[in-house]
Chains A and B, each alone.
Chain A
Amino acid sequence: MATSDCPHCGYSNPFDAAFCGHCGTALARRQPPEEPDDLPADRSSVSAEDKVDKPPGPEEEKRAVSPPNRPREPINARTWPQDVGEEDAQEAEKPQAAGVQETEADNDEPEPLLGGLTGLLDLADTQAFTPASAANPDPVSNRPPTLSGDLTLDEEERRQLRQLFTEELPQEAAGRLEEPPEDRAQTEGISRLPRRPWLEAVLFIGLVGALLWGAEPTRRGPGQHALPGLELAHQQLESLAPNSLVLVNWAYDPATAGEMDFVAQPVVEHLLRKEAKLIVISQLPGGPAAARRVIARAEDTLRRPSRAQISANQAIEGGFLPGGAASLPLLGAAPAQALPVDPRWVGLRDRFDIAGLADSGPALSLVVAAASEDVRRWLEQVQPYHGAPVVAVTSAVADPSLRPYLDSGQLAGLVSGWDGGGAYIQRSERTRSVAEQARSSRLRGGLNWGIGILIAAILLGNLVGLTERRMP
């Protein structure tokens, strides 16, 4: 696989990567280096082991540093820490005769249209600003989309901010599995993760200690702050008539269930209390099973007589819709065709009167998502068809990205994060069981300590930064 070494940290990135997967430095868009003509014919079929084991000869090293046919870089591409003026000078020095060829090359490459912090925010909210199906035609590969970014920010600033929001482990771990051995061998030995083991140890000890001994009584204090949008969501659910059809898009799986279950369960309980009929679909393989578990726990909490009976009457579970954004509009255009099929595929479509769904749409759509992209996709692909109000129940990190939709009225309510879940329970005035209260107290204590350590680390980092600056 062709790779491109990061000019800042040396990490080997795929050639089509716009940013370094390790440090966030913007990478210049280049064509893969061509094989020199003077190489022997069988050189291109050198085995991966050979490539790894043989150190590059002096001639090869020279070629790597200054390739004879230096590929042309797009005018807007910048590579930190390359000097801007130097790059402009290089552009100016290009012979006029090459202009025609360059124009043709420009026509082949799409103009960069997105820039600035769009790229930065993307990692905090993966795939938030690119069409999932277009950017990622292979539904199995879970790589973050490459960004077509016009680099309009200070590169150093962008690199630092991207680093801040990068979730390193999943990319690292997932990437290693798919990485061909030759590429991995090239990157081994490079310290890729700027980790702070002592900080991680402090956090680990703090969290464990808080869980064991630092539980905070639930009844003490005002509880969680309800961010704007929660009250609207509660009102929306409260206004549902019995037997209303609610279309639920379950867009999270066990990876984020540790947070999302806290938010989703109170809302599902509220829906069940209102005797709404839930039609649950998911576009994630782990989604249907995660939904089953939360619905079952919600039913247990409501002390329903029999799970099977409730499920049979009140919820269609287990719908998995592959195809990403391309298949999602089917839920609006032809719901009967799209509706989930029971794992045992028996008589499911007769269970509810879903003919009404095609005529008037659901009374409410609920999107339970770990990423804002899933909510956005629903608002773009399904809501325009039936216009039913949409309530989003999301991870904490998705909250700011969804505020514009709440303001425009496309979202009828927004509950986000662990604090949102707690506030929703308070708002619903539901009494918690002893076990629930104990767990909630532990987690509150843990969160207090975790955030406290984070704030301390930030302050310490700033102090260290000041010291470093003053040192000669």
Chain B
Amino acid sequence: MFSSRSNWQNRIGLLVAAACALLVISVRFGLAFAPPAAAATLYGWALLLGGFALLLGIANAIWHHFVRVQRGQREWGFSLLLLIVFALVFGAGVSSPGGSAAPLAEWVFDAVIAPGQATLYALTGFFLLGAAYRFLRFNRPGGLWILAGALLMLLVQTPFFYRLVPAALVGLLDWLLNWPVMAAMRGVLLGGALGVLFISLRLIMSGAK
């Protein structure tokens, strides 16, 4: 995020970030560099700054659509609608004493947000089918293993097929989940954690330098 700024800005930003990161790490690992309260204070700041950042992000999105309307760009009508809906919801929420728990905000949640989000994500199930048809094939690399795992799990987790499959197969699935799959996912977790660790330390060190 500092790439578009000047060197001075980058240095200040990296220095502050590295200082915060080192303070948090030292407190979490019990090193005596800083009192635990200092880390708690930073977490509290992160909470509040997260709120500020969210509002800034929302303002940015609103500005983006405002500019689209102002310039009459493509789909500016949709952007105008978005702005109107935003203004109505925001106005209703702020003017209600209960905020997001006020009846009007709850009504918006039940009437627009919940059904809209739920429908949007419900569509993914349909697209999954096309992907499975196209790519879940035994003659592709690793296809047999993937197919075996998928079919076994599909059979056991579906009520109708679960009645039909022998108990030994169910036991095999439980064993697979408990051991080989668990071990594979542990490898992924460890790899991911190591990656996070090295990348973060590298960033912190570059800031500290």
Binding site for B on A (CB under 8 A): 48, 110-111, 113-118, 121, 128-131, 134, 137-141, 148, 154, 156-157, 160-161, 163-170, 173, 178, 181, 184-185, 193-196, 199-200, 203-204, 216, 221-225, 227-228, 253-258, 286, 288-289, 292, 318, 321-324, 326-330, 333-334, 337-338, 343-344, 376, 384, 396, 399-401, 403-404, 406-407, 417, 419, 444, 447-448, 450-455, 457-458, 460-462, 465-466, 469
**Bound complex: CA of A175 vs CA of B3, how far in Å?**
23
State the CA gap A438–B103 with chains docked (Å).
30
Say whether B202 contacts A110, CB under 8 Å. Answer: yes
Q: Are B142 and A321 in contact (CB under 8 A)?
A: no
Question: Known interface pairs A200-B129, A289-B106. Does A451 touch B158 (Cβ–Cβ under 8 Å)?
Answer: yes
CB <8 Å contact, B141 and A457:
no
B74 interface residue (CB < 8 Å to A): yes
Q: Are B54 and A228 in contact (CB under 8 A)?
A: no
Closest Cβ of chain A to B180, distance in Å, is 10
Let me know if B53 and A148 touch, CB within 8 A.
no
A196 touches B118 (CB 8 A): no
- List the 6 closest A-B pairs by CB distance, nearest first: A140-B57, A323-B50, A322-B50, A129-B192, A326-B46, A343-B101
Residues of B close to A203: CB separation below 8 A: 125-126, 129
Q: Chain B at the A interface: mostly helix, strand, loop or mixed? A: helix
Contact status of A163 and B135, CB under 8 A, knowing A131-B196, A221-B159, A289-B109: yes
Pick the interface stretch among B4-12, B84-92, B170-178.
B170-178
Q: Mark B25-53, 1 if CB is under 8 A from A, else 0.
A: 00010000000100110011011111101
Interface hub of B44, B134, B203 (most chain A Cβ within 10 A): B134
- Tell me if A140 and B177 are in contact (CB < 8 A): no
Per DSSP, chain A at the interface is: helix
Complex contacts, B192 vs chain A, CB 8 Å: 114, 118, 128-130
**A223, B47: Cβ atoms under 8 Å?**
no
- Determine whether the beta carbon of B162 is less than 8 Å from that of A458: no
The total of chain B residues at the interface (CB under 8 A) is 94
User: Which of chain A's residues have a CB closer than 8 A to the CB of B162?
Assistant: 221-222, 224-225
- Report the Cα distance A399→B44, complex, angstroms: 32
The docked-state distance in angstroms from the alpha carbon of A376 to that of B186 is 12
Question: Max chain A CB contacts within 10 Å: which of B40, B129, B177?
Answer: B129
The one of B64, B109, B122, B130 in contact with A194, judged by C-beta atoms closer than 8 angstroms, is B130
